């Protein structure tokens, strides 16, 4: 039996470093639905690599279309 593929994910707080804002700002944007591709695992929030790249280029907020799988 083969092992399942591991998804490419990053901690959500790494997105804060890209924009130069606090982690709390990114978590609030996620709660408002302005950041897509987030997966909660236990107490941690992770973002898919594709969604991370999308938001790193396009930003986040009301004026930015949300990332869809």
pLDDT recorded at residue 64: 86
pLDDT recorded at residue 68: 76
62 band by pLDDT with thresholds 50, 70 and 90: confident
pLDDT recorded at residue 65: 85
Query: By the 8 A CB rule, do 46 and 9 touch?
Result: yes
- pLDDT of 49 strictly over 70: yes
Shortest CA distance to 31 belongs to which of 12, 7, 58?
A: 12
d(CA 13, CA 6): 20
- pLDDT of 34 strictly over 80: yes
Largest CA-CA distance found in the chain, in angstroms, rounded: 46
pLDDT recorded at residue 29: 93
Tokens of 65: 């279309």
d(CA 4, CA 57): 30
């Amino acid at each position: 039996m083969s092992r399942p593929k591991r998804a490419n994910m990053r901690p959500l707080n790494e997105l804060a470093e890209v924009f130069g804002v606090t982690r709390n700002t990114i978590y609030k944007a996620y709660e408002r639905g302005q950041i897509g591709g987030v997966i909660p695992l236990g107490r941690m929030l992770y973002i898919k690599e594709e969604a991370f790249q999308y938001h790193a280029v396009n930003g986040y907020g009301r004026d930015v279309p949300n990332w869809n799988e």
